[in-house]
């Protein structure tokens, strides 16, 4: 009897142990004080005064010693929502808050997330009148004599925030040299449990909250020639919900994919047009890297690039869109474009290929090293150099502090944002 019980318990433990709960849902962000009718939106000038590099005085165990705070926004129809992102180096963590004014205080309500694991939770913060809100709300410029201190609590999951968090403003964020923070796959990988799936229009709308100023998206063609976003060579459960459809995305028509396939978080596979619409009309992003993952003519993608660049110019939006040249096959197809010499492109190949394709951006892989001499040569030609794909904080710090690159591709744009904006 005992032996049978032992076998049954062992079997149950074996199966239970194998079922690991692996998710990081965004917590419920209800905060009565923040949602009260007395709380009002912050103006542009007030928001700008809160940005900066802050020392973390309490909560270092969770978020490290410092954080760079920067606003971003999302446009939905005629409504614009603003978000204050806290970029932290420790454990690839970030905080995303909305801000409101309540009497003479400023309230910040949001959530935090660590990308190295599934930890997340609520954050409820305040800038009281005596901690700097009076100066911020006064309408005058903030000086070095003003003290801005953000205080409050963070919690775990949907639990009530109970762990103290306190930050003190120390200096403005670095904007000395323009630097493109490019989020991989439209904002990050599905495997990192972001609130939206990789290469989805929904994730593109979130990318700037994670620190991105630009995005890299993967373009493939369906069997009926519709450019869509999809990273992997085949449909698989890493990126889509299981549905019995397997094999290369190029085997299916757009209508089939649109009806039957849903990405990990339930989104449709977006067309390139939908993705560019999201980037242009819903975000402050100003760079899109179209990673060409298909063989054959690039003309259709070139036409769409031209159309959206014209729309951007008409809006005064300043969105740059480059066609990626990742290999020799794509290079040869790129050179078949009649206007390739004036087509904005990002070339991952040699400096000679950059010259042949007239690409405005050279993008070597990071494993080739800093290559400062080559980057300086590119700068001398009036071109830019972006490096891909760096995810380790130590490497990101090294390439920002010692390299001459003009941009960096990463799955963790919040870490790039921290090291760039916190740089002195």
What DSSP state is assigned to residue 157? Answer: B
> Is 318 one of the binding residues for another protein (CB under 8 A)?
no
Q: Which is nearer to another protein, 201 or 359 (CB)?
A: 201
DSSP readout, 332-372?
HHHHTSTTGGGS-EEE-S-HHHHHHHT-SEE--BGGG---H
d(CA 259, CA 257): 5
Strand 361-362 and strand 345-347: the pairing is parallel
Task: Choose which of 7, 26, 255, 315 interacts with another protein (CB under 8 A).
Answer: 255
Nearest-approach distance from CB 9 to another protein, in angstroms: 23
Nearest-approach distance from CB 262 to another protein, in angstroms: 7
Give how far Cα 313 sits from Cα of 286, 320, 407, Å: 12, 10, 22
d(CA 223, CA 235): 14
> Is 248 one of the binding residues for another protein (CB under 8 A)?
yes
> Is 55 one of the binding residues for another protein (CB under 8 A)?
no
Pattern 194-223, another protein, x by CB under 8 A = -----------------------------x
d(CA 165, CA 152): 5
> Is 251 one of the binding residues for another protein (CB under 8 A)?
yes
Helices and strands per DSSP (H, E), number in the chain = 13, 20
Nearest-approach distance from CB 15 to another protein, in angstroms: 14
> Is 236 one of the binding residues for another protein (CB under 8 A)?
yes
> Is 259 one of the binding residues for another protein (CB under 8 A)?
yes
Nearest-approach distance from CB 237 to another protein, in angstroms: 7
> Is 11 one of the binding residues for another protein (CB under 8 A)?
no
Classify 202 as helix, strand or coil.
helix
> Is 191 one of the binding residues for another protein (CB under 8 A)?
no
> Is 252 one of the binding residues for another protein (CB under 8 A)?
yes
According to CB under 8 A, which residues from 86 to 125 bind another protein? none
> Is 260 one of the binding residues for another protein (CB under 8 A)?
yes
Part of the chain binding another protein (CB under 8 A), chosen from 73-81, 161-169, 178-186, 247-255: 247-255
> Is 262 one of the binding residues for another protein (CB under 8 A)?
yes
> Is 9 one of the binding residues for another protein (CB under 8 A)?
no
The owner of tokens 């639990």 is 159
3-state SS track over 243-280: CCCCEEHHHCCHHHHHHHCCECCCCCCCEHHHHHHHHH
What residues make contact with another protein under the rule CB under 8 A? 223, 234-237, 241-248, 251-253, 255-256, 259-260, 262
């Amino acid at each position: 009897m005992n032996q049978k019980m032992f076998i049954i318990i062992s079997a149950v433990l074996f199966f239970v142990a194998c079922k690991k709960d692996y998710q990081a849902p965004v917590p419920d962000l209800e905060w009565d004080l923040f949602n009260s009718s007395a709380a009002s939106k912050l103006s542009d000038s007030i928001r700008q005064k809160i940005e900066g590099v802050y020392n973390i005085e309490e909560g270092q165990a969770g978020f490290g010693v410092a954080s760079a705070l920067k606003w971003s926004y999302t446009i939905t129809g005629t409504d614009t929502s603003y978000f204050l992102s806290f970029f932290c180096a420790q454990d690839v963590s970030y905080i995303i808050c909305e801000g409101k004014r309540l009497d003479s205080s400023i309230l910040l309500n949001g959530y935090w997330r660590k990308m190295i694991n599934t930890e997340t939770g609520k954050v409820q913060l305040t800038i009281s009148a005596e901690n700097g809100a009076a100066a911020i709300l006064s309408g005058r410029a903030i000086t070095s004599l003003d003290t801005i201190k953000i205080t409050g609590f963070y919690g775990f999951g949907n639990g009530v925030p109970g762990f103290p968090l306190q930050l003190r403003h120390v200096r403005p964020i670095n904007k000395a040299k323009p630097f493109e923070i490019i989020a991989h796959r439209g904002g990050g990988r599905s495997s990192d449990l972001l609130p939206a799936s990789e290469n989805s229009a929904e994730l593109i709308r979130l990318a700037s909250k994670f620190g991105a100023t630009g995005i890299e998206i993967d373009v493939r063609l369906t069997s009926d020639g519709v450019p869509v976003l999809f990273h992997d060579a085949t449909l698989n459960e890493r990126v889509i919900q299981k549905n019995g459809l397997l094999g290369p995305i190029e085997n299916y028509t757009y209508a089939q994919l649109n009806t039957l396939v849903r990405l990990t978080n339930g989104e449709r596979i977006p067309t390139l047009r939908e993705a560019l619409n999201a980037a242009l009309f819903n975000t402050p992003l100003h760079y899109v890297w179209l990673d060409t993952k298909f063989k054959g003519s690039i003309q259709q993608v070139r036409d769409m690039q031209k159309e959206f660049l014209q729309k951007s110019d008409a809006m005064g939006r300043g969105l740059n869109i480059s066609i990626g040249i990742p290999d020799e096959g794509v290079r040869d197809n790129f050179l078949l474009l009649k206007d390739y010499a004036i087509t904005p492109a990002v070339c991952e190949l040699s400096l000679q290929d950059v010259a042949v394709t007239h690409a405005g951006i050279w993008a070597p892989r990071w494993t080739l090293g800093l290559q400062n001499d080559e980057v300086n040569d590119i700068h001398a030609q009036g071109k830019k150099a972006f490096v891909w794909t760096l995810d380790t904080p130590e490497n990101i710090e090294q390439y920002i502090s010692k390299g001459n690159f003009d941009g960096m591709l990463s799955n963790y744009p919040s870490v790039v944002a921290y090291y760039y904006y916190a740089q002195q």
